[in-house]
Amino acid sequence: MINIFLSVLVFLLISAGSLTAGEVFLDEEFTSLDRWEPFHFSNIENHSSYSLVSFEGRSALKGVANNSASAMLLKRWFNVYEYPLLAWRFQVSNIYKKGDARKKDGDDYPVRLYVMFKYDPAKASFAEKIQYELAKALDGKYPPHSSLNYIWANREQAADSIISPYSSRSLMIPMVKGGKLVGTWVEHRTNIVEDYKKAFGESPPVMAKIAVMSDADNTGESATAYIDYIRIMHE
């Protein structure tokens, strides 16, 4: 009986551990970049730089933009319905004087988190299929179906949500507005699925990837950003 009891107890402990672990898809504290890969835009020559640093007693991802743009992309896709919660902490050295989310020449941010939703040909309309097949023929892969951009907005009067000047399928969500919190850590937690429904009036595609970016290619300015952690979790 004791052996049976111990076997059942071990099974329950393993099962409980598996359930707990399954509640978190990503717990990134930036002690390594093994989970990430650089992402460069084909039409932008100057790339932002990313490195792991110790900053204010924390391990962090440092992003430096200087008339440049590129991103760090998480290698793995995740199911947004299984893991809808996104949490992170960041800070920036400054905002951009010319930055304006409503205009193409002002579409730069010292830091942003992208959530890019995967295009699914099986669920696309005829017009979408033509559009995405053309894009794939030019770039070798499908672009995202849509995206949410959680940004550090340059202007205090920025709206709570802004359609990207480059695409109606990309929505900018200012998490911080203006320069009052420059030089301090700012922490956020949001529900990706609920944000998407509010932004686009429909449920999001199932699969997504995240990326982090510091960009200054449109304004020609410069800034440094730090990200302390990123977590993707179940509710």
pLDDT tens-digit series, residues 78-115: 999 999 999 999 999 999 999 999 999 999 999 999 99
Closest Cα to residue 229, out of 58, 80, 92, 114? 58
pLDDT tens-digit series, residues 146-202: 899 999 999 999 999 999 998 888 999 999 999 999 999 999 999 999 999 999 999
Q: What is residue 118's predicted lDDT score, i.e. its pLDDT?
A: 87
| Structural domain includes residue 137 | yes
| Structural domain includes residue 196 | yes
Residue 145 pLDDT level (bands cut at 50, 70, 90): confident
Residues 222-227 have a mean pLDDT of: 98
Task: Give me the residues paired with residue 71 across strands.
Answer: 39, 213
| Structural domain includes residue 68 | yes
| Structural domain includes residue 2 | no
State the pTM of this model.
Answer: 0.83
| Structural domain includes residue 104 | yes
Which residue carries 């696309």 as its tokens? 124
Number of domains in the chain: 1
Query: What domain range is 42 assigned to?
Result: 25-233
| Structural domain includes residue 16 | no
Looking up residue 86, the CATH number of its domain turns out to be 2.60.120
Q: How far is CA 3 from CA 63, 73, 93, 228, in A?
A: 55, 48, 60, 46
Helix or strand (DSSP H, E) at 142: none
| Structural domain includes residue 12 | no
| Structural domain includes residue 17 | no
Which residue carries 């030089």 as its tokens? 183
Using CA atoms, how far apart are residues 43 and 216, in angstroms rounded to an integer?
14
